[in-house]
Chain A
Amino acid sequence: MSTLDTPRVRTAPAPAPVRKVTAEEILRGTQGFTRIQNAGGMGALLVTSFRLALTPPFSWWKGAIVDGSLMLRRCIMPLLVSSSVFVVGFGFFVLGGITEVLGASDREGGAVIIGLLREMAIWLTGMIFAGVAGSAIAADLGARKVREELDALSVLGVDKTRVLVVPKVMAATLICPVLGFVSILGIEVVNFALAPSQFGWSPGVLFASSLGSLTAPDIWGALIRYLIIGAMVGVVGCYKGLTCDAGTEGVGRAVNQTIVITFFGVWMLDAFFNLAYLSLFPEAQVSFKG
């Protein structure tokens, strides 16, 4: 009469708890996952910062003026030097050389303004802006991260996106077109000062050729691209600065990655924007006129 007599009910052993392994756990740490995560983080930061910027209170404008003036002052000299050298090297001796061989050196002005406004000035400004302003944003925010200033802001209840990121993103978005058109102006001034004596025609020829070739869609396209490049530089710089490692090399690596990503973005935009734009606006397909 013991428990031995009672038939034992054999129950199935409780299954070992199967731990669900998510795809994130498998992929975490791989290079591809990190890249996708970074891209997602940047996209989220872009949406957040523009949402915060476009909804009241518009508290970002004072910070944006300070940041924007700093960017303008930092970028303007490198940009003007690069543009001037570039137009002497590539405007005169490459574009001008081709037109001279064709016996149409009077069209150099048109070739320069079309070639620069569509392509060269865009990526020249994009490179300088990404290299100077983007790296400065990443270095600034990375330094704050390393000094634990960002944690201090969170403790004080200050939204770091609203206070730090939004002014920088908006300043970059609004200052990039200004710099871009200043660059084009500088290129035209150098061309006006040196080209007539180089090719042996009067300045009026340059004006006629330049104005004859310039179209409104080209200027609008340049403006749109400058705005996109500015927003991209601001967001990438802020994201990389906010997420940098705390080690000695962390900030330097973050700045380095910012520059690589923004350079890549500028070129990808440049390659595919014009393909779409020139197909959609056939009236811009004028060849340079005399």
Chain B
Amino acid sequence: MATTVPTTTTVDAPAGRAPRGAGGFLAEMGHLVAFAGATLRAMPGSVLYLAEALRHVSAMILTTSPLLFVMYGFMGIVTMNTGYFLLFPLGAADYLGAIGGFGIHVSAVIMFSYVFTAKVCGGFVAEIGAMRINQEIDAYESTGVDPLRFVVGTRILATLFYIPIAAVVGLLGYTAGCFLDAIVILNATDSAGYARFHWSSHGLRDLWFVITTVALTGVVTAVTACFYGMRTTGGPAAVGAAVAQAVKINLVLANIVAAFTVITWYAVDAGVPIGG
């Protein structure tokens, strides 16, 4: 098995404190892009550590999925509130299902990025940052294990495994929240009428949109989180600062990714089942 000795391609933090201001920020983003490239190059090698990736997936499924379900449920309630109080004065509350189905476009992409950034990516930064401070990353390197494969690559792989599950859990939670609010709390329409308009404005194309956007957001935020974990320097306090910085960058990146995928999918055809 001597052939599997990996090439160490760690992207180290730049020496000294990064320069502040716009130049420092641009340099940081440049390092992030370089790190993303190195991670993608190392990804095929992390298939070797499939068990580690599956361990991360199981942790995500057990701890993140319930939170994802409930948060998507809140999103469904919020969408139904807005839609009902816009449509009710027009006397068109029967069409509430169309708003629910169309709200998928907005909610699915945004809510996933929030939950994933907060729960999973924050955990990534905390774990990897602590490993960096405890010199575990250096220990991996000295024993011939490429940290980009074992530490970062397995987490990205786990994210890819988790994405379809997250999309399904999220859509179920969203639909449950919509039904709860529209039919039980607001008593706006009957459930058959609601389901008719909901599912007529939510087709296969929208499902593909959700899965691709969730995949893109998940990978981008996970890579960013691993980057800020890997470049942590200092003591335990630096881990907290790294988590804070990673979440800040991730929130902005998630909004940008979500907005531009919406533009690419729905700018030409809004996909509303109204009109010609």
A-side interface residues toward B, CB under 8 Å? 74, 78, 81-82, 85-86, 88-90, 93-94, 97-98, 100-103, 114-115, 118-119, 123-124, 127-128, 131-132, 135-136, 138-139, 142-143, 146-147, 244, 246-256, 259-260, 263-264, 267-268, 270-272, 274-275, 278, 284-288
Within the complex, which residue of B75, B88, B119 is in contact with A267, where a contact is CB–CB below 8 Å?
A: B75
Q: Which of B31-39, B48-56, B129-137, B164-172 contacts A (4 or more CB under 8 A)?
A: B129-137
Contact of B266 among A81, A93, A118 (CB under 8 A): A93
Chain A residues whose CB sits within 8 angstroms of the CB of B5 once the complex forms: none
Cα–Cα distance between A247 and B272 once the two chains are bound (Å):
53
B11-19, B146-154, B189-197, B240-248: which lies at the interface: B240-248
- A78-B252, A255-B244 provided; 15 other pairs, C-beta below 8 A? A74-B248, A85-B260, A93-B262, A100-B270, A102-B274, A102-B275, A127-B251, A138-B244, A248-B134, A249-B126, A249-B236, A252-B126, A255-B122, A255-B126, A255-B240
**A128, B251: Cβ atoms under 8 Å?**
yes
Identify which of residues 71-121 in chain B touch chain A, using a CB-to-CB cut-off of 8 Å.
71, 74-75, 77-78, 81-82, 85-90, 102, 105-106, 114-115, 117-119
CB neighbours of B105 from chain A (8 A)? 94
Q: Is B88 touching A285 in the complex (CB atoms < 8 A)?
A: yes
Main secondary structure of the interface of A (DSSP, over half): helix
Whether B240 lies near A142 (C-beta < 8 A) is yes
Q: How far is the CB of A80 from chain B (nearest CB, A)?
A: 10
Would you call B6 an interface residue if the criterion is a C-beta within 8 Å of the partner chain's C-beta atoms?
no
Q: Measured between alpha carbons, how far is A288 from B274 in the docked complex, in Å?
A: 18
Q: Tell me if B247 and A135 are in contact (CB < 8 A).
A: yes
- Could you say which interface size class chain B belongs to? 35 or more
Residue on B nearest A142 in the bound complex, by CB = B240
Asked if B134 contacts A139 (CB within 8 A), the reply is: no
**8 Å CB interface, B252-273 against A:** 252, 255-256, 258-260, 262-263, 266-267, 270, 272
Q: How far is the CA of A143 from the CA of B203 in the complex (A)?
A: 49
Name the one of A81, A147, A278 contacting B252, with C-beta atoms under 8 angstroms.
A81
Contact among A255, A284, A286 for B243, CB-based, below 8 A:
A255
B211 at the interface (CB under 8 A from A): no
Shortest distance from the beta carbon of B127 to any chain A beta carbon, whole Å:
7
Whether a CB of chain A sits under 8 angstroms from the CB of B45 is: no
- Chain B residues with Cβ below 8 Å from A118 are 82
Establish whether residues B262 and A139, one from each chain, have CB atoms under 8 Å apart when the complex forms.
no
Contact check, A260 vs B67: say whether CB atoms are below 8 A apart.
yes
**Residues in B neighbouring A253, C-beta threshold 8 A:** 126
Binary flags per residue of B40-74, CB closer than 8 Å to A gives 1, else 0: 00000000000000000000000000010011001
- From B75, B86, B133, B259, residue with most partner A Cβ within 10 Å: B259
Most chain A beta carbons < 10 A, residue from B70, B77, B78, B258: B78
A252, B255: Cβ atoms closer than 8 Å: no
Q: How far does the Cβ of B50 sit from chain A's closest Cβ, in whole Å?
A: 25
Distance in Å from the Cβ of B131 to the closest Cβ of chain A?
A: 9
- B251 and A97 contacting across the interface, CB-CB below 8 Å: no
Neighbouring A residues of B71 by C-beta, 8 Å: 263-264, 267
Bitwise, B213-239 to A at CB < 8 A (1) or not (0) is: 000000000000000000000011101
* Shortest Cβ-Cβ A-B pairs, 9 listed: A89-B259, A252-B126, A143-B237, A97-B270, A251-B240, A139-B240, A256-B122, A135-B244, A249-B130
Complex CA–CA separation, A88 to B89 (angstroms): 28
Task: Show 30 residue pairs from A and B whose CB-CB distance is below 8 angstroms, ordered by the A residue.
Answer: A74-B248, A78-B252, A82-B256, A86-B255, A88-B263, A93-B266, A94-B106, A94-B262, A102-B275, A119-B82, A123-B78, A131-B248, A135-B243, A139-B237, A139-B241, A143-B240, A246-B236, A249-B126, A250-B236, A251-B236, A252-B236, A255-B240, A256-B123, A259-B247, A271-B78, A271-B177, A274-B82, A275-B81, A275-B186, A287-B86
Give complex CA distance A107, B251 in Å.
30
State A252–B181 Cα separation when bound (angstroms): 36
CB distance from B247 to the nearest CB of A (A): 5
Query: Chain A contacts of B181 at CB under 8 A?
Result: 275
A88 in contact with B259 (CB, 8 Å): yes
Q: Are A260 and B118 in contact (CB-based, < 8 A)?
A: yes
* CB neighbours of B185 from chain A (8 A): 275
Q: Whose C-beta in chain A lies nearest to the C-beta of B77?
A: A271
With A93-B262, A248-B239: A271-B74 Cβ-Cβ less than 8 Å = yes
Contacts of B123 in A (CB 8 A): 256
Determine the chain A residues whose CB is within 8 A of the CB of B87 once the complex forms.
287
Looking at the assembled complex, report how far the CB atom of A179 sits from the nearest CB atom of chain B, in whole angstroms.
14
Q: Determine the residue in chain B with the shortest Cβ distance to A253.
A: B126
Minimum C-beta distance from A78 to chain B (A): 5
B88 and chain A: residue at smallest CB distance: A285
* CB atoms of B270 and A131 under 8 A apart: no
**Residues on B with beta carbons closer than 8 Å to the beta carbon of A259:** 117-118, 122, 243, 247
Q: Are B239 and A263 in contact (CB under 8 A)?
A: no
Residues of A within 8 A of B248 (CB): 74, 78, 131-132, 135
CA distance A86 to B236 in the complex (A): 35
